[in-house]
């Protein structure tokens, strides 16, 4: 869970065929592998599809959910299938391409896990299993922004998995308008929640 918090403020970059696309991570969700009822690897479930979770930390895992794609990053040593879902990004490079891919403008372009993936032009699971910082995907070594405050909340879209449904395993940059399900009244449009 510390890693999920630590990822906030780092940039995530995809060198796509359309151009360089990047954003600052503003929202993450932790999944604790075999013990976590909401995780794809709960009870040791291991399939060709979720195999990237079992690979070395820093492996990309792309999966479909309700015809949309989401992306986790494996975070442990090989064989321990814990992952962190990137839920929201604040665009840095390639905003015009993102808007074209999403056919949207404003915060709605990347304020959700399936939204930013579509904005980045990722349309299938071909890149699942790619190690970070090897080719297409770059995770910045250092934070480029520091959150003023990090809020921990229950995860989104994880019903009927108690006690895991209620656990506070979603981490957000408080006030950042690119966080999913962020009410307008809670948005900090002056600093976007950064120091």
Mean per-residue pLDDT over the chain, rounded: 97
CB 28 within 8 A of CB 84: yes
pTM (predicted TM-score) = 0.97
Q: What is the pLDDT of residue 135?
A: 87
The reply to whether 179 falls in a domain is: no
The rounded distance, in Å, linking the Cα atoms of 102 and 34 is 34
146, two tokens:
């520091």
Q: Which two tokens stand for residue 122?
A: 């990722």
Task: Give domain status of residue 52, yes or no.
Answer: yes
Which CATH number belongs to the domain containing residue 110 in this structure? Answer: 3.10.300.10
- Residue 152 has what pLDDT? 98
Give the helix ranges, DSSP H, for the chain: 2-6, 95-102, 113-119
In a domain? residue 102: yes
Domain assignment of residue 135, given as a range: 2-144
User: Minimal CA–CA distance to 80: which of 105, 114, 106, 46?
Assistant: 46
pLDDT of 161: 93
pLDDT of amino acid 114: 98
Determine, yes or no, domain membership for 131: yes
What pLDDT was estimated at residue 130? Answer: 96
Residue 129 lies in a domain: yes
Closest C-alpha among 53, 83, 69 to residue 120? 69
Q: What's the confidence (pLDDT) of residue 1?
A: 81
pLDDT in tens, 11-63: 999 999 999 999 999 999 999 999 999 999 999 999 999 999 999 999 999 99
CA distance 44 to 47: 10
Supply 158's token pair.
Answer: 């994880």
pLDDT under 50 in the chain at which residues? none
Q: How many CB atoms lie within 10 A of CB 127?
A: 16
Any domain includes 55? yes
Q: Is residue 166 part of a domain?
A: no
Residue 149 lies in a domain: no
pLDDT of residue 141: 95
Residues in the chain: 195
**Which residues lie below 8 Å from residue 42, measured CB to CB, with a gap of 6+?**
33, 34, 35, 36
Indicate the number of domains in the chain. 1
């Amino acid at each position: 869970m510390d890693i999920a918090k630590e990822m906030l403020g780092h940039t995530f970059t995809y060198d796509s065929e359309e151009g360089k696309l990047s954003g600052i991570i503003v929202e993450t969700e932790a999944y604790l592998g075999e013990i976590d009822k909401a995780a794809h690897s709960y009870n040791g479930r291991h399939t060709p599809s979720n195999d990237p979770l079992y690979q070395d930390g820093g492996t990309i895992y792309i999966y479909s959910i309700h015809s949309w794609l989401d992306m986790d990053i494996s975070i442990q040593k090989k064989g321990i299938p814990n992952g962190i879902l990137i839920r929201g990004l604040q665009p840095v490079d390639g905003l015009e391409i993102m808007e074209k891919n999403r056919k949207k403008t404003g915060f709605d372009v990347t304020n959700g896990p399936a939204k930013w993936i579509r904005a980045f032009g990722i349309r299938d699971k071909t890149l699942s299993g790619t190690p970070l910082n090897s080719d297409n995907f770059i995770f910045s070594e250092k934070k480029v922004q520091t959150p003023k405050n990090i809020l921990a909340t229950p995860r989104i879209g994880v019903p009927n998995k108690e006690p895991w449904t209620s656990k506070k395993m979603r981490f957000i940059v408080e006030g950042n308008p690119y966080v999913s399900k962020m009410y307008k009244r809670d948005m900090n449009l002056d600093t976007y929640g950064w120091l």
